[in-house]
A and B are shown apart, each in its own frame.
Chain A
Amino acid sequence: MKLFFHFSVIGFSNTYLIGNNDGGEAILVDPGHMDLELLKLIEYNNYYIKYVLLTHRHTSHTKGLKTLSKIYDVEIYANSPHIHDFPVHIVSDDSHLNLAGFDISAFLIPGHSSDSMVFKIGDALFTGDVLMAGRIGSTTTSLSRSLLLRSIREKILPFEENTIIFPGHGTPTTLGIEKIINADLMPHRHGSKHDLKENNPEYS
Chain B
Amino acid sequence: MFDFIRCSHSGCNEFAVTKHTTCFQHAENPETLQQEVAAKLMEKGIVGSYCLTHGEFSNLDLTESSLYACKFSHGTFRNVDFSDSYIQLCFFEFSTFINCTFNEITSKYSVFAGSEFKECTFAGSDILHSNFSGITADHTVFDDSDLYYTNFSSSKLSHVSFKDCNLKKADFYLSERQEVSFKYSNFEEALFFREN
Give A contacts to B, CB under 8 Å: 1-3, 5, 7, 12, 123-124, 133-135, 138-139, 160-162, 164, 170-174, 176-177, 180-181, 183, 189, 191-193, 195-196, 199-202, 204
Q: A134-B153, A170-B129 are in contact. Are A177 and B93 (CB under 8 A)?
A: yes
**Is A199 within 8 A of B3, CB to CB?**
no
Q: A172-B89, A176-B93, A180-B134 are in contact. Are A201 and B113 (CB under 8 A)?
A: no
Give B contacts to A, CB under 8 Å: 1-4, 13-15, 69, 89, 91, 93-94, 108-109, 111, 113-114, 129-131, 133-134, 149-151, 153-154, 169, 171-175, 177, 180, 182, 187-188, 192-196
Q: Is the interface of B mostly helix, strand, loop or mixed?
A: loop
**Is A3 within 8 A of B1, CB to CB?**
yes
Residues of B within 8 A of A204 (CB): 177
**Is A171 within 8 A of B130, CB to CB?**
yes
Q: Smallest CB–CB gap between B38 and chain A, Å?
A: 24
**Is B111 within 8 A of A183, CB to CB?**
no
**Is A199 within 8 A of B172, CB to CB?**
yes
Residues of A within 8 A of B151 (CB): 133-134, 170-171
Residues of B within 8 A of A164 (CB): 2, 91
CA of A204 to CA of B113 in the docked complex: distance in angstroms? 25
CA of A181 to CA of B151 in the docked complex: distance in angstroms? 12
CA of A88 to CA of B69 in the docked complex: distance in angstroms? 33
**Is B149 within 8 A of A138, CB to CB?**
no
Q: A139-B196, A160-B13, A193-B195 are in contact. Are A181 and B182 (CB under 8 A)?
A: no
**Is B129 within 8 A of A7, CB to CB?**
yes
Q: A7-B129, A134-B173, A183-B173 are in contact. Are A177 and B134 (CB under 8 A)?
A: yes
Count of A-B residue pairs with CB < 8 Å: 117
**Is A173 within 8 A of B131, CB to CB?**
yes
Least CB separation from B135: chain A residue? A181
Least CB separation from B4: chain A residue? A123
A-B contact list, 13 entries, CB within 8 Å: A7-B129, A12-B169, A135-B153, A162-B13, A162-B14, A164-B91, A171-B130, A173-B113, A177-B93, A177-B131, A177-B134, A195-B193, A199-B175
Q: Which 10 pairs between the two chains have the least Cβ-Cβ distance? A: A181-B134, A134-B153, A3-B1, A171-B131, A199-B192, A177-B113, A134-B133, A138-B196, A200-B192, A191-B174
Q: A191-B193, A193-B193, A199-B193 are in contact. Are A173 and B182 (CB under 8 A)?
A: no
Residues of B within 8 A of A161 (CB): 13
Residues of A within 8 A of B175 (CB): 199
| Apart from A162-B14, A171-B131, A196-B193: 4 A-B pairs, beta carbons within 8 A | A1-B3, A170-B129, A177-B114, A192-B194
Residues of B within 8 A of A181 (CB): 113-114, 133-134, 153-154
Residues of A within 8 A of B133 (CB): 133-134, 173, 177, 181
**Is A135 within 8 A of B194, CB to CB?**
yes
Q: A191-B173, A191-B194 are in contact. Are A134 and B154 (CB under 8 A)?
A: yes
CA of A123 to CA of B172 in the docked complex: distance in angstroms? 28
Residues of A within 8 A of B93 (CB): 174, 176-177
Tell which of A135, A162, A201 touches B192, judged by Cβ atoms closer than 8 Å. Answer: A201
Tell which of B4, B111, B177, B196 touches A174, judged by Cβ atoms closer than 8 Å. Answer: B111
Tell which of B130, B131, B149, B193 touches A200, judged by Cβ atoms closer than 8 Å. Answer: B193
Residues of B within 8 A of A199 (CB): 172-175, 192-193
Residues of A within 8 A of B187 (CB): 201-202
Q: A12-B169, A123-B2, A171-B131 are in contact. Are A180 and B114 (CB under 8 A)?
A: yes
CA of A181 to CA of B169 in the docked complex: distance in angstroms? 19
**Is A134 within 8 A of B171, CB to CB?**
yes
Tell which of B14, B109, B134, B150 touches A5, judged by Cβ atoms closer than 8 Å. Answer: B109
Residues of B within 8 A of A202 (CB): 187-188
